[in-house]
Structure 1
Amino acid sequence: MSRTTQHFAKRLSQRGIRTRAVDVVRRFGCKEGDRVILNAQACRIASEALAKLKRDIDEIGQRGGYVAVEADDALITAYRLNSFRF
């Protein structure tokens, strides 16, 4: 998290907002000027995207993992982790 002020800490305490919640807003919210906004609709969209990501991660884990090879910002190949022996 960025540097915080005493004002910020006091307002979070007064309003019952956790620092972790602010981290989520900063990560998934939309920047509008000097504000970052995460509304209910954006929360639903982010939650659905994270659910899909979790399914993908679970599938990769069940298959033993994957390897992606890249050089100079170009993807060269990909393979299952347990399909290649050094």
Structure 2
Amino acid sequence: MIALEQRKDEDYRTLGEIFFFMSDELADITFSESLQIILETMIESLYAVFQVTGDQIQMFISLFVDCLPIFLQHVLTKTTLAIG
């Protein structure tokens, strides 16, 4: 019983919902959402650094997607090819 009381005093997870609300992390995002965020940021960086045109970006995206494994190509064609 002493060990239980000590744990209650030291381990915040024993506080029930208070711990959950205090340690709640950011909402999980899906793989395709995170991949889309990364690619959008990369494309914005390409515009800023290399001053490319929209057509060049589309060509880059097509080449990039074609070099990826098939399962990633399917995710990207559904979510990010409208970028540019």
Q: TM-score, normalised by structure 1?
A: 0.26
**Greater Rg by CA:** 2
* Greater RCO, 1 or 2 (C-alpha within 8 Å, sep 6+): 2
Higher helix share goes to which structure?
2
* Structure with the higher fraction of residues in strand conformation: 1
